[in-house]
Amino acid sequence: MNPLTSVKGSLITGFVLAILFAVLAVDGGWNELGLARWLHIIAGITWIGLLYYFNAVQVPALADAAADKGGPGGAGITKYVAPRALLWFRWSAVVTWLTGVWYLARAGALGAFALGMAGPEFNQYQFVIGVGGWLGTIMLFNVWFFIWPNQQKILGLKPATDEQKAAARKTALYASRTNYILSIPMLLCMAGATHGLPL
């Protein structure tokens, strides 16, 4: 079986190579904290990558396709691409959030959800990572309660009138753009908590 001929084969091969490298390169055995961080990063890249794809590529391309009266339109994207991208988008959001909580719990840093004010002294790391975590939580909420339910109407996966579809387009767009905006400070906090804020 050639792993390059399918998404599943490529993913499995990538994970096997990474695990082999971890086993060969790391001395000291099982590292649950490292596993949580690694899975959090992979899921997060998938989630935010698709968020950027939707906002920077798909939405503008569909607007151009709708304006092009002699063109092929956006039916292929809305029928084949968008449902699959939304599947990966919403579940990678869940995995990102869950692995983030797993990581914080195993690192003894759940005080991040109290923005570093859970202990006797203010914790700068927990404050920065906590801001990022709360932004990610808002974004996860937007995915499941605003973007996905409205995309189901837009894509015809749920029945909706033309007026309901128009309202759904606006709500989904605004929720997605909100996530697009929030992702920038969220990524700053996630990277800056351990690598320093660039200020």
> Tens digit of pLDDT per residue, the chain (199 long)?
799 999 999 999 999 999 888 878 877 667 888 889 999 999 999 999 999 999 999 999 999 999 999 999 999 999 999 999 999 999 999 999 999 999 999 999 999 999 999 989 999 999 999 999 999 999 999 999 999 999 999 999 999 999 999 999 999 999 999 999 999 999 999 999 888 887 6
Tell me the C-alpha to C-alpha distance, in Å, between residue 99 and each of 118, 131, 196. 21, 16, 22
- Tokens 């700068």 locate to 124
C-alpha 144/C-alpha 191 separation (Å) is: 25
Q: What is the pLDDT of residue 99?
A: 98
Which pLDDT does position 199 carry in this prediction? 63
CA distance 138 to 145: 10
Q: Which positions ≥6 away from 77 have C-beta within 8 Å?
A: 58, 61, 62, 65
